[in-house]
A and B are shown apart, each in its own frame.
Chain A
Amino acid sequence: MNAIAIGALSTTLGPHAPTRAAGRRMTSCAGSTGPDGATFSGCIVRIAERGDRDAFACLFNHFAPRVKSYLIRLGAVPEAAEELAQETLLTVWRRAAAFDPARAAASTWIFTIARNLRIDLARRDGRVPTSDDSELSEAPARPDDALSALENYTRIGIAVASLPREQAQVISLAFFADKAHSEIAGELGLPLGTVKSRLRLAMARLRGALAEIAP
Chain B
Amino acid sequence: MIPQHHPTETLLVDYGTGALDRNARLVVAGHLGVCESCRRVVAEIEELGGALLAALAPAPLQPDALDMALARIERPAPVAITSTAPNDWIAVPWEVIEAARTRRRWAAPGVWVAPIARGPGKARGYLLGIAAGMGVPRHTHRGAEMICVLKGAYRDGDALHRPGDFAWNDETVEHQPRITSDGECVCLVAAGGPLVPRDWMGRIFQPLVGI
User: Which residues on A are within 8 Å of B, measured CB to CB?
Assistant: 1-8, 10-15, 35, 53, 56-57, 60-70, 72-74, 78, 81-82, 85-86, 89-90, 93-94, 104-112, 114-116, 118-120, 122-129, 149-151, 154, 156-157, 160, 171, 174-176, 178-181, 183, 192, 196, 199, 203, 206-207, 209-210, 213
Contacts and interface: CB of A to CB of B under 8 A. Distances in A.
Given A69-B57, A154-B55, A156-B51, A119 B18 contact: yes
A64 B69 contact: yes
B70 A5 contact: no
B53 A67 contact: yes
7 contacts: A6-B33, A15-B91, A66-B53, A66-B59, A69-B56, A108-B43, A178-B18
Given A90-B69, A119-B18, A3 B90 contact: yes
B134 interface: no
Interface stretch (B92-100, B104-112, B176-184, B194-202): B92-100
For B9, B48, B95, which residue has the most chain A Cβ atoms within 10 angstroms?
A: B48
Given A104-B46, A126-B119, A149-B57, A175 B51 contact: no
B170 to A, nearest CB: 12
Given A3-B90, A8-B81, A179-B19, A14 B120 contact: no
A213 B49 contact: no
For B21, B51, B91, B92, which residue has the most chain A Cβ atoms within 10 angstroms?
A: B51
A7 B18 contact: no
Contacts, number: 239
B52 A1 contact: no
A104 B97 CA distance: 26
List the 7 closest pairs (A to B, CB-CB), nearest first.
A126-B119, A65-B58, A107-B50, A108-B50, A35-B54, A126-B118, A12-B29
Interface stretch (B72-80, B153-161, B203-211): B72-80
A108 B91 contact: no
Given A1-B163, A3-B91, A151-B56, A120 B50 contact: no
A128 B56 contact: no
A62 B59 CA distance: 11
B142 interface: no
B73 A175 contact: no
A5 B53 contact: no
Q: Main SS of chain A's interface residues?
A: helix
Given A1-B87, A179-B19, A209 B61 contact: no
Nearest to B91: A3
Contacts of B61: 64-65, 68, 82, 85
A123 B163 contact: no
B167 interface: no
Nearest to A206: B48
Contacts of B18: 74, 115-116, 118-119, 175, 178
A68 B68 contact: no
A57 B161 CA distance: 47
Contacts of B81: 5, 7-8
A8 B58 contact: no
A141 to B, nearest CB: 11
Nearest to B55: A154
Interface in B28-58: 29, 32-34, 39, 42-58
B87 to A, nearest CB: 6
Given A3-B92, A157-B55, A178-B19, A203 B86 contact: no
A90 B72 contact: yes
A60 B69 contact: yes
B83 interface: yes
B58 to A, nearest CB: 3
Contact of A128 (B50, B91, B121): B121
Contacts of A120: 22
Contacts of B89: 1, 3
A180 B58 contact: no
